[in-house]
């Protein structure tokens, strides 16, 4: 299992930086690459061809987008260390990676500072920590809202 019992010291305590996420990847023998493609993806070890796992993220993205891509792909490693489990479990694996990434990017310790966690408060926190988000609707603000929604969903699961 690749990242079994993943628990970096910053997880849940502070907002990770891009460097924190890269260090986490490298500490487990994984690499990071950049591509001109629109989405991030994971390349597993292929004996005789690829010696170490590789996460590839799009270039020219904002800090929030880069951290999201990295955290999401690390979430796949953390939640499904054996790799791709097939198309029947794809949605479940994506959901688990989304939850892990949102928990990584919006730490529980910071949420507990606010008595009433809300979507707007989490978007504001992402904006102040990662990338200044415009007030108008745009791709970046929609991403922040998605991350905040995943984090709120994870809070409900933690309570249940």
87-135 pLDDT, tens digit per residue, is 778 888 899 999 999 999 998 887 876 656 788 888 888 888 898 888 7
Is 3 inside any structural domain? no
Is 22 inside any structural domain? yes
Spatial separation of the C-alpha atoms in residues 52 and 34, rounded to whole Å: 16
Spatial separation of the C-alpha atoms in residues 86 and 93, rounded to whole Å: 9
CATH number, domain at 32? Answer: 1.10.10
Is 141 inside any structural domain? yes
pLDDT digits (tens, 9 = 90+) for 69-91: 999 988 888 887 666 677 778 88
Is 146 inside any structural domain? yes
Confidence of residue 6 (pLDDT cuts 50, 70, 90): low
Which residues fall within 8 angstroms of residue 70, CB to CB, at 6 or more apart? Answer: 18, 21, 22, 25, 32, 40, 55, 57
Tell me which residue range forms the domain holding 93: 18-159
Provide mean pLDDT across the span 50-57: 86
Is 112 inside any structural domain? yes
- Continuous H helices in the chain: 18-27, 63-79, 90-105, 108-111, 119-129, 139-159
Give the number of other Cβ atoms within 10 Å of residue 141's Cβ.
18
Q: What is the largest CA-CA distance in the chain?
A: 53
Number of structural domains the chain divides into: 1
Predicted local distance difference test score (pLDDT) of residue 102: 94
Spatial separation of the C-alpha atoms in residues 115 and 112, rounded to whole Å: 6
Provide mean pLDDT across the span 11-21: 91
Is 126 inside any structural domain? yes
Q: pTM of this prediction?
A: 0.85
Is residue 145 scored above 90 in pLDDT?
Answer: yes
Q: What share of the chain is helix, strand, coil (3-state, %, to 5)?
A: 50, 10, 40
Confidence of residue 2 (pLDDT cuts 50, 70, 90): very low
Is 2 inside any structural domain? no
Locate 52 and state its tokens.
């170490």
Predicted local distance difference test score (pLDDT) of residue 149: 94
Predicted local distance difference test score (pLDDT) of residue 4: 42
Which residues fall within 8 angstroms of residue 81, CB to CB, at 6 or more apart? Answer: 1, 2, 3, 4
Is 89 inside any structural domain? yes
């Amino acid at each position: 299992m690749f990242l079994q019992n993943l628990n970096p010291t910053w997880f849940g305590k502070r907002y990770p930086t891009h460097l924190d996420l890269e260090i986490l990847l490298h500490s487990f023998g994984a690499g990071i690459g950049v591509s001109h493609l629109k989405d991030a993806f994971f390349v597993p070890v292929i004996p005789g061809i690829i010696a170490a796992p590789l996460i590839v993220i799009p270039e020219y993205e904002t800090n929030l987008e880069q951290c999201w891509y990295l955290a999401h792909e690390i979430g796949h490693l953390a939640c499904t260390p054996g790799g791709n489990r097939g198309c029947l479990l794809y949605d479940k694996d994506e959901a688990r990676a989304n939850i892990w990434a949102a928990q990584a990017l919006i730490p529980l310790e910071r949420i507990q500072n606010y008595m009433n966690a809300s979507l707007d408060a989490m978007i504001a926190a992402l904006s102040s920590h990662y990338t200044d988000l415009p007030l108008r609707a745009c791709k970046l603000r929609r991403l922040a809202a998605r991350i905040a929604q995943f984090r709120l969903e994870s809070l409900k699961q933690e309570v249940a």
